[in-house]
Amino acid sequence: MGMGDSAGKVYLVGAGPGDPGLVTLRAKELIDTADVLVYDNLVNRQLLEWAKTDCEKIYVGKESGRHAVEQDEIESILVERADRGLRVVRLKGGDPFVFGRGGEEVRRLDAAGISFEIVPGITAALASAAYAGIPLTHRDHSSAISLITGHENPEKTELCVDFKKFANTGGTLCIYMGMGNLPKIVTDLLEAGQSPETPVVVVQWATLRKQRSVFGELATICETVAAEGLSSPAIIVVGDTVSLHNQVSWFEQQDQQTLADAERRFLNSGSEGDCSY
C-alpha cells in the first residue's frame, strides 16, 4: 500500500472476465461504496449498477488502435480524485496486473503519495479455458502455462512478441489481444517447429451468454476462425490440453433462459451476492 497522507484512496480492482457472478466479494463491496468509478471497455456495465446513485462514473476504455482517454490522463484522474479525499475504484477487466497496465498506475499513485489497494480478478485466459471445458494444465499433457499478449502496446496493433520462442515449450499458450495478428502468430509458431496438428481454441466473449468457442488445429485455425466470423475480444489457447474438451463448451450447452435467470438473481441480490450458480 502506498504510504501517502491523502485521505483519499485508490482501489485497483479486477472486474473478472465478464460474468458479474465471477467478481470477488471484495470487488463488489468496493463498487458498492465507491465515490468514483473509473472503468475500462471490457468491464461488464451491469457492475456499474451496484454503485451509489451519486457515484461519479468515468469511462476510460481502450480498444486496439483507439482509446477514450490517454493513459497519462487516466493516471491523473486517479491522483486528482484521491487528492480530493475520494474513494476511487479503478475497475479493470480481468486482473489489474495481467496486461492491464496496473503496474503503471500503481507507480504513479505511489509517486504521488496516494494510498492504494490491489484487488485481483479472474483473468481472461483462465476463464476462457474453463468455460470452454479445457484444463490449462494436465499431468499427461502440460505442466506449464504461458500468458502472452498478441501486441504489447494496446494503442498499437503490430506484433511485438517473438512467438517463435514459445513454440514447442511443452506447455499451453494463452494469447491475449491476438486476433488481429493471428495469421502472423500462427506462421511464427509453425516456422519454429510447432506441429501443424497442435489443437487450438479461440473463445470470444468468455463467460457471457454470447460466448462462442471455435476449435481447430494450428495449421487451419485462421481459416476456421474466418469462416465462423469470430473477432475480438477473444482468447486464443494453443496446446495439447485443448484436445481434452467435449467438442462443445459445457457453458454454451446450457439453456440461455437458465443463464439469464441466474444472472438476474445475482444482480438483484444483496451485497453478499448470490452464489447459486
- Chain segment 252-269, per-residue pLDDT in tens: 777 655 555 655 655 565
Question: pTM for the complete prediction?
Answer: 0.85
SS3 of residue 145 by DSSP = strand
Please report the pLDDT score of residue 266 as a whole number.
Answer: 52
Please report the pLDDT score of residue 256 as a whole number.
Answer: 58
Tens-place pLDDT, residues 13-48: 999 999 999 999 999 999 999 999 999 999 999 999
DSSP string covering 61-102, please? -EETTEESS-HHHHHHHHHHHHHTT-EEEEEESB-TTSSS-H
Choice between 157 and 142, residue whose per-residue pLDDT is larger: 142
Q: Give the residue-averaged pLDDT of 193-218.
A: 95
Helix axes 71-83, 102-111, angle to 10 degrees: 40
Angstrom distances, CA of residue 56 to CA of 3, 31, 36, 59, 270: 25, 11, 5, 10, 22
Are 190 and 238 within 8 A, CB to CB?
Answer: no
Task: State the span(s) of the chain assigned CATH 3.40.1010.10.
Answer: 9-122
CATH class of the domain whose range is 9-122:
alpha beta
Helix axes 221-228, 182-191, angle to 10 degrees: 160
19, 28, 177, 179: which is the annotated catalytic residue? 177
Catalytic residue flag (residue 62): yes
Are 23 and 121 within 8 A, CB to CB?
Answer: yes
Please report the pLDDT score of residue 255 as a whole number.
Answer: 61
Edge-to-edge strands, sheet with 36-39: 56-59, 36-39, 87-92, 9-14, 115-119
Catalytic residue flag (residue 72): no
CATH class of the domain whose range is 125-253:
alpha beta
Catalytic residue flag (residue 179): no
Q: Give the residue-averaged pLDDT of 111-116.
A: 96
Compute the mean pLDDT over every residue in the chain, rounded to the nearest whole number.
87
Task: State the span(s) of the chain assigned CATH 3.30.950.10.
Answer: 125-253
62, 92, 179, 188: which is the annotated catalytic residue? 62
Residue 159 Cα to chain centre, angstroms = 19
Please report the pLDDT score of residue 272 as a whole number.
Answer: 38
| Separation CA 12–CA 101 (nearest Å) | 10
Q: Give the residue-averaged pLDDT of 137-154.
A: 82
40, 92, 95, 188: which is the annotated catalytic residue? 40
| Separation CA 146–CA 218 (nearest Å) | 17
Count of CA atoms in the C-beta half-sphere (13 A) of 266: 19
Q: Which three cell numbers stand for residue 174?
A: 494463452
Q: Other CB atoms closer than 10 Å to residue 66's CB: what's the count?
A: 9
